[in-house]
Structure 1
């Protein structure tokens, strides 16, 4: 095949390779409904030509009856007693039965398509969520990957109708073959003329479908901006600041600016598509009526009967519609298949951080602790190192605090401990083995972490605690125990429905909490895990000094004998740690107890004095 032609076909038809995979997924959603849908379409595909042929027989029978001498009009009983007229009545009854059957089968096919689309949409959404859960944190934080995820999310349910369209194309192909066989018996050259007239329209649609997909693909970032601006302008989470800062007009202006660019591009494409489509449609109509004139002329000349005229004209009209529909439908399927590439290419993304094929069991209990050996890490796309040449030990049963200014590497260390990222240099050991030697789920199950930017789930209060160890969400005693340890039990006790109270403002009956109350709920998640390593990364920023002290007093009490890491800017809190690591530029600058670091008179003592001066 000529290389330019092959390239052209690859660009326009290459995405069709995803159709078999889509069919397998749709069939897997409900094998019985899928098979029933195929059977219904197969039967219905044969009915249109049968209906048209029966109509031809009726017309020929009527013409023949007009030629027979009949002195007076016949009564109904005499009409049915006449074998010729009885045959005509039978043909009318047969046409009625075929019409009713065709309608019922069409409605059944539509019903089955809808049921299958719902089942597939749900199954595809579940698959997307599970695959997204396997991806690395870095893949979520990359803007290009976010665009790809957004495109996949848009397609996960929107392409279920494609299967119905493909099955409809198959049904129309069978119908077309039946009409073509009947038409070929009279004038086979008409079929070739008809196809030749419609191919240019098909190529035109293919071209503009490709242009439409390319426009949608390149404008994904702008569409994400529009979604974000809509969220900012009409969301309970942002309503207070939008009102207080008077941001509504500014947000609307930004949205309109982005929208104008999208609308202008779409308008230009639609205008070109309409002009070219109209030209090809006019050419097709001219050819159709030219052929229709030939059929009428040959009927007048006596070559065809009135029934033949009806059958040929009807067949030709249906063939024209079928061929045009098939060609345009195929171009639309090819266009939609390009969007399938967005979905299936997302499923082809593989995480870099994975469990080993033969993981080692995570030690229970942990006897040695964690060791950082010359660890270096920089975030993807960043020229600077978040941490570099970082070495320290976190002994089993030890509580350490990480102190440092923003950007010192505190949260990065936590992400490395939990294998949300892997080091770019060096290694991290748990009881003498690299973290990568353990299964991810087992490793993370041993660590309870609460970040400052924890998620406020619009679930019930009990479910908000249970997400810390969702497999035990039915264990009410464990949930209550975790809430008691974080002091969230007093917050929940004040709610009208207690642990069954929906939180947040997104759904009916939801009750919102203060920042400090939310943080106590979030801290309960860490206790819910009953993990051997507990990490609190600035989770008490919204608490007042007294509440924070109470939380960390409880934390200190409950972590006796466990390994723990706490991060806080308040030195009254970190002083309770066994050891404090002072970080600067991603390295350990100082290490020791609160008293020892104050005697050292270094960076820690300087920061402590600066904070203490604010309370004098």
Structure 2
């Protein structure tokens, strides 16, 4: 990011750090019930046990102080009267029992909260992935929503801390009531001094907590840049080009510049927080010692016993700590609930690509085919039409090839046909019905797509193929299968795509881990990965197969064999094929030639060559290279 851009974004961040109003703080608490529901959904038994343990711990401090008072008073009585130590030892034993019980309750509480924290993280991560999978590609490609997703992803591991704060506040409140009762009985003035002692620290932390949160939100785009630079600078997938192009020094310098700017912002906030917080803390300490002087004065005059002195001094000190924790906890909860807001906002985002209730499934078999009726589409945020006034028909059993230069709109058409996007204008019909009216899951099950930028899954070979039809192969994939033979569907798909030719170099056969991310993984070439991607397409019982540059990384012999088998496979099915190789597209029944998002020619290979138009020009340019 350029310095000017950073300066502008920094001004925006500073503008965002204004301390929120109390109304905004109260409104932030509306996210707490959602958190409680999530925890309750995670594990009701552990959640209930955690609550009971917290309640039990709340009585330990006051019980310890009260028994301590009784011990001191008993010791003084023994010095001036009959020396019967029975009551003294009973009180000592009781204090030991209370302290031990408190330790056990604390450790058991930590155990339960740790277990619940792990389950909570897993539960919320699953919900996050499930919801992300339901959203549209258009939404996930929106930078603002992606920032929201990134912040929500960070909340899956840390938001149980908010619950612990809530429980801690409840525990501290009960403790405070019991401690305050002792102070009120002996001196109401102590309660007033107690409040005065803790308010300054609370005000300071509430302000800086809000500032910290505002900076966190404002810096999300830059934080994503840092994460991306980390990936570029230390990843096996980028190492080849980084080293070949000598990019390491440039990436490191750019990362350091951005990280240093983050550091300066954090340092300024930390220094202000420390200086102001220290001053406010000193005010609180002075308030405590004023109260201590009051207690000492009343003890010297005989109004209080030494045991009561110990009780009140201890109660005041603990009450001050408890109230400070309560107020700071309340401030922290405000900050934490705004972090939780990211989680809530992400789940409030609803997918746009939805079918009406009771929408029909895609017919099987499809009888009339697809019709693009004056279709136009612009990507979100773009003024340029990716495709415009596109009209054509794809009939059952027909193979259509899309040809054109890069950016002509070929891949956009493949995204429209399975509703990754909906047209901006015009409509797409399937068997005479608008594509939007069909059940989305049914439509995508009927369309098998292999994109040019297909994902290389760092998984086993059989898993890489099986995920082409994961619902059907779920039992095999999820079950323990040491030495198990893959289903015939996986073997057949590997054979049709030529992925089976990789087996001789796979020590574990179909169980071989692919990629370098995990131990024992085998890295493949681009062409070998492409064979596996094709195998995934062959796994699907799709009525329409869409292959976007399916053989770009294959050699000529492999390409010929793949398409020979492909022709056999799609007999009776529809197919859309995108390729820059004319030796491939000439097998299509019809070829659509696109330019600047519009269909400018269509016909068979022979007819288009004879027409001496754009197709013939592109064909001749490629043919010259082989002469």
Report the TM-score range of the alignment, normalised by the length of the smaller protein: over 0.9
In the TM superposition, 1:440-459 aligns within 5 A as 440-459=440-459
**Per-residue deviation at 1:125?**
0.1
Matched position secondary structure for 1:185: helix
Q: Equivalences for 1:103-142 in 2 at 5 Å? A: 103-142=103-142
Equivalent residue for 1:76? Answer: none
| 2:497 is aligned with 1:486 | yes
State how far apart, in whole Å, the 1-side matches of 2:192 and 2:562 are: 83
> Number of matched residues?
598
1:503 has 2:514 as partner: yes
In structure 1, the residue matched to 2:254 is 254
Task: State the partner residue of 1:548.
Answer: 559
- Structure 2: runs of 5 or more not aligned: 1-18, 477-485
Is 1:184 the counterpart of 2:215? The answer is: no
Q: Note the C-alpha offset of 1:111.
A: 1.0
Residue equivalent to 1:39: 52
Q: Is the 8 A contact 2:200 2:284 kept in 1?
A: no
SS in 2 for 1:429: strand
Whole-angstrom distance in 1 between the partners of 2:424 and 2:98: 71
Aligned to 1:97: 97
Q: Is the 8 A contact 2:197 2:286 kept in 1?
A: no
Which deviates the most, 448-457 or 191-200? 191-200
- How far residue 560 of structure 1 moved from its aligned partner, in angstroms, is 1.1
Within 5 Å, give how 1:51-62 maps onto structure 2: 51-62=64-75
1:492 deviates by 2.9
Structure 2: distance between partners of 1:226 and 1:198: 39
Contact 1:18 1:337 survives alignment (8 Å): yes
State which structure, 1 or 2, has the greater radius of gyration over its C-alpha atoms: 1
After superposition, residues 389-468 of structure 1 pair within 5 angstroms as 389-468=389-468
Q: Distance in 1 between matches of 2:453 and 2:130?
A: 23
- Offset of residue 196 of structure 1: 2.2
Deviation of 1:7 (Å): 7.2
Q: Secondary structure at the match of 1:530?
A: coil
Equivalences for 1:100-499 in 2 at 5 Å?
Answer: 100-473=100-473, 474=476, 476-499=487-510
SS of residue paired to 2:85: helix
Match in the other structure for 1:571:
582
CA RMSD of aligned residues (A): 1.2
3-state SS in 2 of match to 1:535: strand
State how far apart, in whole Å, the 1-side matches of 2:212 and 2:80 are: 59
SS at 2:226 equivalent: helix
43, 62, 85: which is aligned to 1:30? 43
Which is worse superposed, 198-207 or 50-59?
A: 198-207
Q: CA deviation at 1:539?
A: 2.0
Distance apart, 1:197 and its partner CA = 2.7
Instruction: Check whether the contact 1:370–1:428 (CA below 8 A) recurs between aligned residues.
Output: yes
Quote the residue 2:11 is aligned against: none
Q: Are 1:67 and 2:73 counterparts?
A: no
Partner SS for 2:77: helix
TM-score normalized by structure 2? 0.94
Give the structure 2 partner of residue 3 of structure 1.
Answer: none
Contact 1:113 1:161 in 2 (8 A): no
Give the distance between the partners of 1:490 and 1:270, measured in 2 at CA: 60
What TM-score do the two structures reach when normalised by structure 1?
0.96
Determine the C-alpha separation between the residues in 1 that align with 2:63 and 2:603. 92
Q: Which residue of 2 aligns with 1:559?
A: 570
1:10 aligns with 2:23: yes
Which residue matches 1:74?
A: none
User: Residue in 1 aligned with 2:620?
Assistant: 609
Deviations 1:26-75 (A, max 9, x none): 01111111111111111111121111101100100000111127xxxxxx
Distance 1:242 1:385 in 2: 34
